[in-house]
Amino acid sequence: MVIGIPRSLFYYYFFPFWSGVFQALGLTYLVSPETTKGIMENGATLTADEICLPVKLHFGHAHYLADKVDLIFSPGFGRWGRRSHFCPKLISLPDLTRLQFQGTLEFHHELDEANSIVEEYWLAPLRQLAPGVKKKTLLYALKEGENKQAAFVALCRQGYLLPQAFKELDVRLASGEDPARMFKAGSQQEKGPRILVLGHPYMVYDNLAGQGLLQTLTKAGARVFTKEMVPAAEEDKLWPTQEKRVFWTLGQQMLSAAYYYVSRRQIDGVIFHSACLCGPDALIGELLEKYLGKVEDAPPLLKLTVDEHTGDAGLQTRVEAFLDLLEWRKQYAAV
Amino acid sequence: MKEMFIGIDVGSVSTNLALLDLEGQVVQTVYLRTGGRPISTVQLGLKRLRETMGSSSLPKASATPLQSEDDRGQTTESLEEQKTTEGYGFSRSSEEIRIAGVATTGSARRLIGLMVGADLVKNEITTHAVAALHYQPDAQTIIEIGGQDSKLIIVRDGIVVDFAMNTVCAAGTGSFLDQQAARLGMEIEEFGNLALTAKNPVTIAGRCAVFAESDMIHKQQMGHPLSDIAAGLCEALVRNFLSNVGKGKEIKPTVVFQGGVAANPGIKRAFEKVLGYSLVTPEYFGVMGAVGAALLARNQYLTTKKSSNFRGWQLCTEDITTVGQTCDGCSNHCELVVLKRGGQVLAYLDDRCGKWSDLVTETAGEAI
């Protein structure tokens, strides 16, 4: 039996965990390829118009897998940690997927108040995948997955961008190194502007939806920081004057990351990369602006919004101009 | 020997060239409609520049022989015209002029940069800001409205601190005004002046070009005079700009208004009505992108003293074409653009992974 994992949504963060669990149970899985135009178009035709791009992409990837695998891995995301939620589209994702495709593996990828995986949600789907396997073995597999995830998270916090962290994780595991050990810092360029890219990982790192933002930045010699690099103790922290926690998990993480880097003066510019039609993002963008507006000598902010119709040219022009602006600012500060 | 700099701004609607001297003074500007043919338009533009210069800097050794008539492929405006004016200024040289730097900007900046051998390829937001600040050092806001896009650039203490560009919507740009003027059966030049004569501008929904149009038709049928409708449209576009592009950004005087639409007095007055003070329109408002590019080329030359990659005037007459090609390397099916001179490939553009564009960039100059 082959399980199909769509390369969408929280593949871009929890793949080490998922793959770790499946490997430990000796299950075979297939990951859909990097997003192509075809995948994006299929996703757009399979979904309602007003659905956001990430969900469209998810359907495109599921469609790619539909005739190649026995079960489509179809997680839903409700809440991670305390008072932290996802939008209705991600909560209802297993249901939405079931309406469109046959043979889906439904479950909820939730995190408890201590931010660890809620095992009880996993036991039912794992029993479906590996019938007859003892609970003890299943729990062991979950532990294996969690270890792999922990190693990946540690890599991210060392400054690796997500795709590099995935790659590095495989290299380390293949060489038999203890994944839980701390790794040395990722190699990023020494000079060049330091840019904090805030966005949903499944947008920023997607081949098409990201529109080459990270490549453009690294090509231009910029050092990229993301919310995944923020230390655990800080990743959920409210800024001192923030009146209340943001309802949305990723939204709060983005704001906390902005607070972490900006208050430490560790970055030169902030790029907010959001999906068109993303309800939470519309609020987060405003809050981010509000926060930066109160900081003295705050780093400049560039807001980018993408949907499936956006061409790369507009993004390139804006990012280039933004880098010019930062350079200009630096020269001015030096005078 | 006089050193000069060329800035080329190839936008979707217009192609502008500016020739600057070593002091940064504008010597000559050329404004052309791109008409969907950026390459031949730039060739024509360069030819016009050269005509007015009346001198030659044709590199004697590296001059490429002209293609035979049959090999020229597409007949374009510039090539047609070329037959009559070929060889015009080659001996008319009164004072030797050397092109010491070329920069391209606008949406076709990469393509044209490769074609002319640009020393600098710069985005249009930066070039517009550079030009505006050159003429108006105390500017705090720059409004640029062109054919297909509009920009708002916020400047404080002489440096750009924030900017915004319109997104996918073209309402509020030159093309839409053009279209509406045409629908009312008048020249775009008349349209702005007509708006100035309005007694009581009507309210028009400016949020979307489609709604604006149906609203205008409705107002016409209700019997409102054209002048009021024209003024109403101008005000709607300004409202749209301020809410869509401006989005609450703080607009402070001095405001520089440039881009093709700055020629429209109706729009200018509508802005002034909302903002409460007058806007500054620089002398070369229509070609500021090109002026900014040339200024940047000049700055680069002054700091590095590096000699230019400019491929020379012969490129006005060369057979430069582009061919579309679909890459079958992966399921992205990138639509490549192949830039060719005669039969020789100069560059590949628009591939996602870079496997094509990396192939020939070294031979095509250091522009990218």
Q: Are B23 and B119 in contact (CB under 8 A)?
A: no
Q: What pLDDT does B66 receive?
A: 36
Instruction: Determine the average pLDDT of the residues in A38-48.
Output: 90
Contacts of B165 in chain A (CB under 8 A): 314, 317-318
- Are residues B168 and A309, on separate chains, in Cβ contact within 8 Å? yes
pLDDT at A2: 92
Q: What percent of chain B has pLDDT over 70?
A: 85
Note the pLDDT of residue A209: 84
Query: Which residues on chain B are in Cβ contact (under 8 Å) with A329?
Result: 159, 161
pLDDT, residue B169, reads: 65
For A178-203, what is each residue's pLDDT tens digit?
A: 554 444 444 455 678 999 999 999 99
Decide if B51 contacts B24 (C-beta within 8 A).
no
Contact check, Cβ <8 Å, B332/A317: no
Tell whether A212 is within 8 A of chain B (Cβ).
Answer: yes
Q: Which of B20, B61, B21 is nearest to B314 (CA)?
A: B61
Q: Is A317 on the interface with B (CB under 8 A)?
A: yes
Contact A321 B158 (CB under 8 A): no
Q: Report the C-alpha gap between A193 and A210 in whole angstroms.
A: 20
Average of per-residue pLDDT across A24-53: 90
- pLDDT given at position A264: 92
CA atoms within 13 A on the CB side of B157: 8
Asked whether A234 and A256 are in contact (CB, 8 A), the reply is yes
pLDDT, one tens digit per residue, over B185-204 is: 888 888 889 999 999 999 88
Domain ranges (residues) in chain B: 2-125+289-318, 137-281
Higher-confidence residue of B277 and B345: namely B277
pTM over 0.95: no
Mean pLDDT, chain A, rounded, equals 87
CB of B335 less than 8 A from some CB of A: no
How many C-beta atoms surround the C-beta of residue A182 within 10 A? 11
Work out the minimum CA distance from B200 to partner chain A, whole angstroms: 37
Give the closest-approach CA distance of A217 to chain B in angstroms.
15
* Euclidean distance between CA atoms B107 and A196, whole angstroms: 27
Nearest to B295 by CA among B2, B1, B33, B9: B9
B363 phi, psi to nearest 5 deg: -85, -15
Average pLDDT over residues A96-116: 85
User: A-chain residues within 8 Å CB-CB of B155?
Assistant: none
Task: Cite the residue boundaries of each domain of chain A with CATH code 3.40.50.11900.
Answer: 194-334
pLDDT of residue B353: 74
Taking CB atoms and an 8 Å cutoff, what residues of chain A touch B144? none
Over pLDDT 90: what percentage of chain B? 43
Query: Chain B contacts of A305, Cβ < 8 Å?
Result: 167
- pLDDT at B163 (0 to 100): 92
Least confident of A204-213, A305-314, B183-192: A305-314
Q: B residues 141-200 near A, CB within 8 Å?
A: 157-163, 165, 167-168
Question: Please, which residues have CB within 8 angstroms of residue B179's CB and are 6 or more apart in sequence?
Answer: none
Q: Over 70: is that where the pLDDT of B94 sits?
A: no
> Would an 8 Å CB–CB cutoff place A313 in contact with chain B?
yes
Query: Which band of pLDDT confidence, cut at 50, 70 and 90, is reported for residue A269?
Result: very high
Q: Is B126 on the interface with A (CB under 8 A)?
A: yes
pLDDT of residue B167: 66
- Is residue B116 within 8 Å of residue B102, measured between CB atoms? yes
Architecture of domain B137-281: 2-Layer Sandwich (3.30)
What pLDDT is recorded for position B361?
A: 52
pLDDT digits (tens, 9 = 90+) for B39-86: 999 999 999 988 877 644 443 333 333 333 333 333 334 434 433 333
> Among A234-243, B169-178, B284-293, which range has the highest average pLDDT?
B284-293
Residues 241-300 of B with CB under 8 A from A: none
| Mean per-residue pLDDT, B125-133 | 95
Lowest-confidence region among A95-104, B134-143, B162-171, B199-208: B162-171
Considering CB atoms only, which of B160, B331, B352 is closest to A328?
B160
Residue B125 to residue A317, Cβ atoms within 8 A: yes
CA distance B362 to A86: 48
| Gap between the Cα atoms of B313 and B63, Å rounded | 9
Fold exhibited by the domain A194-334:
Rossmann fold (3.40.50)
- Give me the torsion for CA of B181, B185, B186, B188, rounded to 10°: 20
Q: Do B167 and A33 touch (CB under 8 A)?
A: no
A38 touches chain B (CB under 8 A): yes
Q: What is the pLDDT of residue B212?
A: 81
Which of B134, B166, B168, B350 should we substitute to test contact with A (largest number of A Cβ atoms within 10 Å)? B168
The verdict on B333 touching A (C-beta cutoff 8 Å) is yes
Q: Which of A37, A38, A305 sits opposite B167 (nearest CB)?
A: A305
- Left, alpha or beta for B105 (phi > 0: left; psi -120 to 50: alpha)? beta
- pLDDT tens-digit series, residues B207-248: 777 788 888 888 889 999 999 999 998 998 898 888 888 888
- State mean pLDDT over A74-101: 87
Q: What is the per-residue pLDDT for B298?
A: 95
DSSP state of A164: H
**Residues 70-109 of chain B whose Cβ lies under 8 A from any Cβ of chain A:** 107
| pLDDT in the model for residue B350 | 77
Q: What is the pLDDT of residue A235?
A: 84
| Cα–Cα dist B206/B91, whole Å | 55
Contact list in A for residue B11 (CB cut-off 8 A) is none
pLDDT recorded at residue B113: 93
Per CATH, B2-125+289-318 and B137-281 having the same topology is answered yes
The distance of B352 to chain A (nearest Cα, Å) reads 8
Looking at the partner chain, which of B125, B167, B333 has a beta carbon nearest the beta carbon of A37? Answer: B333
The Cα B225–Cα B311 span in angstroms is 54
Question: What is the structure's pLDDT at B171?
Answer: 63
Q: Residue B107 and residue A317: Cβ atoms within 8 Å?
A: yes
Mean pLDDT of A175-180: 61
Sheet holding B2-10, edge to edge: B26-33, B14-21, B2-10, B97-105, B120-121
Q: Which CATH superfamily is domain B2-125+289-318 in?
A: ATPase, nucleotide binding domain (3.30.420.40)
Q: Check residue B101 and give its pLDDT.
A: 94
A37 to B332: CB separation less than 8 angstroms, yes or no: yes
ipTM over 0.90: no
Q: How many Å apart are CA A251 and CA A272, to the nearest integer? A: 11
* Interface mutation target, options A32, A268, A320, chain B, most CBs of B under 10 Å: A320
* Range in A135-139, A207-211, B118-122, B137-141 with the lowest mean pLDDT: A207-211
Nearest alpha carbon to residue B130 among B5, B296, B298? B296
CA B228 to chain A, closest CA, distance in angstroms equals 35
Give the pLDDT confidence score for residue A38 in this predicted structure. Answer: 87
Q: Are the beta carbons of B177 and B161 closer than 8 angstroms? A: no
Q: Which has the higher per-residue pLDDT, A268 or B94?
A: A268
Give the chain A residue nearest B167 (alpha carbons).
A314
Least Cα separation, residue B255 to chain A (angstroms): 19
Torsion of CA B241, B242, B245, B251, to 10 degrees: 130
Is B22 touching A (CB cutoff 8 A)?
A: no
| Rounded mean pLDDT, B157-162 | 90
For tokens 């780093």, the residue is A299
